[in-house]
Structures are given as structure tokens and as C-alpha cells.
Amino acid sequence: MEFKADTTGKAPTETRCMTKLACIVLAAGMGTRMKSGIPKVLHQAGGLSLLGHVLGAAGEVGVNHVVMVTGPGMEAVRSEAHAHFPQARIVEQTERLGTAHAVSMAQPVLQDFTGITVVLYGDVPLIRPETIRSVCAAAAGEAVRMAVLGFEARDPFGYGRLVTGDSGMLEAIREELDASPAERALRLCNSGVIAIENELLWQLIPEIGNDNAKGEYYLTDLVGLCRQSGHGATVTTCDEDEVLGVNDRRQLAEVERLCQVRYRQQALLAGVTMVAPETVFLSADTRIAEDVVIEPHVILGPGVSIGRGSIVRGFSHIENTEIGEGVSVGPFARCRPGARIGDKSRIGNFVEVKNATVEEGAKVNHLAYIGDARIGAAANVGAGTIICNYDGFNKNFTDIGNGAFIGSNSALVAPLKIGEGAYVGSGSVVTRDVKADALAVARGKQVERENWASRYRKANMARSTKKSGEK
């Protein structure tokens, strides 16, 4: 069994909504409160962009069409959307006139679609696939053509309230300023996510006006128009944290925290031991097999997989790395992109591995740099060894054969090949290939001068005494 961190916090499911689905993702905001030149939806949480989280959830639901609404000049957002959903269609909102106006940009793409359209937000990354399925299924129910996703707010101030009738059907969405005292007392609030029959959506969108304080076209007006047209609208609910939006760095930090809580819980339930879970940071695509142990203060960046029975010791930082079964990494190890650590191998304290393969049973136990290299099976790399892989212009490769032994404090100057079973003497600077089973020693010849140390000490003591007398 393998654990894969994701934004759902639950085991993957093959359940699909039977109705055809289209998804409109609103992502035109620049996020001025983020104080950043990066579009808001491209900021990351849990090793993935906010937009990536949303599109990942939509992909798990099995939507038939995705339409992204972006702003002018947001090519980076377009590229990110296609990285996660290659078939996504991109439309541009040149003027920001409200959520209904943004949704209307998708009409040319979805005009002829038959099914349910769900509106999501590129800066609301924690929404779960099963929640999207639920609101879409509700919109396709009997006597219902629209559903709104709501939540019970801990503090409802500032949110639009969902007003329901005696039958439990949704009657209206009332904004804070327009709500009566009784409506303000409601805690059932609007998340902004809606699902609606596509045909009805394009019938009602043109009827939305902008007679409000901001002069904007609000998507929330769809509820009233839907009810006036004689169609049913309903509410589905989720946890408040699931629809937390990101508008500033504080909210981004909170989303990161909630992502990590989900990932850790899923890992623990899948058979991963974490000595201090609150100090371990995972990524959206982290893969960890059963019986892995992760010690405190470990960071697993994107692209990490760890095989069964391995241990990652404290204060290690790992990214874009494949770790096999029965491996020990750390403490204080760093595995950079392209590292491949074979079964039963050892990467010890203060060892850095980059774009290198450490094969089965090999040991790099302490204080070493392994870059652009292959360490053969059962080879041993001694403490203080570095691979000199960069000459200022090119990265060069070093191949260390199976069973080779590299003595401590050696420098291996790439490009280089150390044969199988070869030995490199400690302190060597190796610049030429070493044949299999040979011994290479590349260091200055040791010279010993008898009694030199005692004569040196006596001379210095005499000079020191003379200086003291002169004073």
C-alpha cells in the first residue's frame, strides 16, 4: 500500500457524478493584498499552486470541460492551467465587473454544453472532490436546477447569508448590508460555489443587473432569478475551512497549515510513523509506503517518493527524489532534484545528493557531496568526500563502480570513472580514471623530520623570553 498526499485528505475514490459536468474557474484577480508581482492563484500551499489544487479536485470529479477565466497578460496562469488540465479553455476578462460578469466570459465556450456547470475559484484551494460532486449532484436533483455550497460559519460577519424556506429549499442569498437582524443571526453562509444546469445559467446571466453600491454584476443574484423563474434551488454544506479563500499572506499561511494537517493525517492512517507530525512538512504529490518512519523536522518538497520500511531522520530536506525500500536518510541530509537512492542504501548526516544514483546497499554515511554521479551497489564513500562535478561551465559525470571504496577526505574531479572494487586512499585528489580492483593514492608524499617539533618549540620559547626581558 502506498500513501499519496492530496488535497482531499481521504482515500481516492472512483465515484463519478453521472451527469456531464463543466467547470468554470474564476482566476482573473491579481491579488493586490498579497503584495506580490505573482498572480494570486500561482502562490503555493502544500507544494502546489492554489490553482493546481482546484484543478486537481476538478480532475478527480471527472469534469468534461474546464474553462479558466483570467485577466489580461496572465500567461503564467494560462500555462499553469494547461499543466494541470491540458484541455482547459482560457477566456479573458478585460474588465473586472463582478463575479457574474466573469462567469459570462465562458458563455461562448459552454453555450452548447448539456449538463451541470459548477463555478469554482482559483484562490479557494481546499475544496474536496467529494464536495464538488455533492453540489453538482444536488443541482441535478428532482425539482431542483441549482445548488449553492454553504457552510456554518464560526463568525458569520461579512459573509452573505443563505436564506432557506420552511421546506429547506434556498430562497435567497442576502449580503451583510442588506440582511435583516434575523437574517444576520443566521450562520449558514455562502461559499460562492454554485452548480446549475448549463442551459438555465445562460438564460439567467443576462438578467443580472448591477444596481448595487459597487455597480458590479453578482453571481449571487442567480438564486433569486432562479426562484422567480419557478425553479428550485437548494443548499449543500461543507466545513468552513474547506472554502477558505486566499486574499493575503496570512490566509495563505493558514491554507498551508490546513494542507499539512490533511497530508499528515492521511499519511498516519496509511501506515506511516511520524515521531512529531506537527514538525513534518509534506507536498501534494508526496508518496510514502507503509512502515516508513519520519523523524522530527523533516521537509519533503515536491516529487518525493519513499519506499517501504525506510527511515528519514531528523532535520533532513528532500525534494524531487526517489528513495527505495529499507533506506536510511539523515539526520541533516539534503537530497536535491534527480537523486535516486536505491534499496538498503545509506545517506548519512550532512550528506548532499544531487542528480545522482546511489545504488542498492551503497553507503555515503557522513559529510559528503555527491553530484552528477552513480555510486555503484555496495560501494562506500568515506567522510569528507566531495565530487567536483562543475568546472564553471559544465556539469561532469562521475561513475563509481560496484563495491568500490572511497577513502575519507577525497576529492573526485569529474569526469571520472572508478572501477569496480577499486580503492581510493584517504585524502586523495583523483583526476584520472581508476581501474577495477586498483588502489589509487593521489596526495603529496609524507616527509618526517625527527625532533623538528622540539627544536621548533625551544626556538620560539627563547624568542618569547628575550622579548619579555627587553620589556
C-alpha cell at 417: 570513472
Whole-angstrom distance, CA of residue 244 vs CA of residue 251:
8
Q: Is 366 a catalytic site residue?
A: yes
Check if the beta carbon of residue 260 is closer than 8 Å to that of residue 282.
yes
Q: 274: which strand partners?
A: 294
Check if the beta carbon of residue 400 is closer than 8 Å to that of residue 425.
no
Number of H helices, E strands in the chain: 10, 34
Check if the beta carbon of residue 139 is closer than 8 Å to that of residue 145.
yes
Q: Which residues of 226-243 are buried (b: 16+ CB within 10 A; e: fewer)?
A: bbeeebbbbbbbbebebb
Other C-beta atoms closer than 10 Å to the C-beta of 177 total 9
Whole-angstrom distance, CA of residue 409 vs CA of residue 402:
20
Which amino acid is present at 275? V
Check if the beta carbon of residue 153 is closer than 8 Å to that of residue 189.
yes
Which amino acid is present at 297? H
Q: 238: which strand partners?
A: 151
Phi-psi region of 315 (alpha: psi -120 to 50; beta: other; left: phi over 0): left
The single residue of 53, 65, 101, 366 carrying the catalytic annotation is 366
Whole-angstrom distance, CA of residue 407 vs CA of residue 115:
68
Whole-angstrom distance, CA of residue 166 vs CA of residue 188:
15
- Give the distance, in angstroms, between the CA of residue 47 and the centroid of all CA atoms in the same chain: 2
User: Given the DSSP bridges, would you call strands 146-152 and 339-341 parallel, antiparallel or unpaired?
Assistant: unpaired
Where would I find the beta strands (DSSP E) of 42-187?
44-45, 48-49, 65-70, 89-92, 116-121, 146-152, 161-164, 170-174
Whole-angstrom distance, CA of residue 168 vs CA of residue 89:
36
Which residue numbers are catalytic?
366
